[in-house]
Amino acid sequence: MRILRLLALFSLLLAIVFFVSYPGFRSLPVGIWVDETPTGPMRQVRVRRAGAQVFVQTWAACGAGHCNWGEEVAKLHNGVEAVTFDAGYKTTQLQFVAQLDGRLRVTYESNFGRQPHAVQFLSRWNLRNDDASDAAARVILHQVAERHRTLPPAYFEQVINNTTYVKTYYLPPNKMREEITSKDLSTVHISDGEFHWQRDTATNKYSRYPDKMNPWSTFTDLSEIAGTSRIIGHELLYGVPCTVILFNTIYGDRLQYWIEDERHLVRQVKTPNGNMTCPVIRLNDAMKPDLFKYDPKVTNAGRIHFGAHFKLQSR
């Protein structure tokens, strides 16, 4: 009998180890996760729950900063929670597995780019509650995020590194037109609510892919990025009172933002890669519907195909 009890106990222990170690039986932990030694394609992941659904928001490596890929509902893929991003010219799947040591394993699969497969281990990042300077700055950054999430019809003029000029027309909730000109570039980007169109006016070529990104994602996530921030001054910029915030990411990137005190709009950004400034911002402009339409047949434009879709496989 003693041997039978020992065998039963051993079987129970094996079952417990299996259920704990098998990824399909470990729920995806809620929180913010970062790659502390950024060598892979993903910089940051935020996991939240709403009822029975798990939402995953991701930020990819993008120059000196982050590219917000947006938020998707996680779904089980071969027993592992995963999200898929379809940009038309490329499809990327991220699979998430909670590790016993507290980290989050992220498997990256893509059909486009120099790094089609990667595995990263992200660590949990917690916002410090005892940093009053950071808390004061994040209040403003949160106001910026809310302002850009709820923008009315708007017109922006931007100057990037004193070489590139951008005119932006925005019609909520998801239509936008950007006219970009520089010494060697002349392109028009149109988001019509269903597709994003990019047209090279010099060659009369265009590309098209699904339009899922929030057009203001650069500014709607400032309060979510891992790092520390503080208010470093107050200045008049283009005759408008602004608060200047210095943001240091956990990767050592030094970012500065000039934010309007009244409207909470970003008027200037300085990064290690250069400077972007907005000399003109007008809200509630009347927008002609034709600004957000594009038909390649009108100009007999040729299409550029960047890549082919493929079925993502688990590893």
pLDDT attached to residue 92: 85
Per-residue pLDDT of 158-209, as tens digits, reads 999 999 999 999 999 889 999 999 988 899 999 998 888 999 988 999 988 8
Nearest one of 90, 63, 48, 78 to 307, comparing CA atoms:
90
Give dist(CA 53, CA 172) in Å, integer: 27
Residue 269: both structure tokens together? 């950004």
Q: Are 255 and 247 in contact (CB under 8 A)?
A: yes
pLDDT computed for residue 311 by the predictor:
36
Q: What is the largest CA-CA distance in the chain?
A: 88
What domains sit in the chain, N to C, each tagged with a CATH number? 2-125 (2.40.128), 132-302 (2.50.20.10)
Give the residue ranges of the chain where pLDDT is below 70: 1-26, 38, 63-65, 87-89, 112-115, 130, 212-218, 305-315
What is the b/e burial string over 88-110, where b = at least 16 CB atoms within 10 angstroms of the residue's CB?
Answer: bbbbbbbbbbbeeeeebebbbbb
pLDDT score of 308: 38
Rounded to the nearest angstrom, the gap between the alpha carbon of residue 281 and the centroid of all alpha carbons in its chain is: 23
Give the per-residue pLDDT at 72. Answer: 86
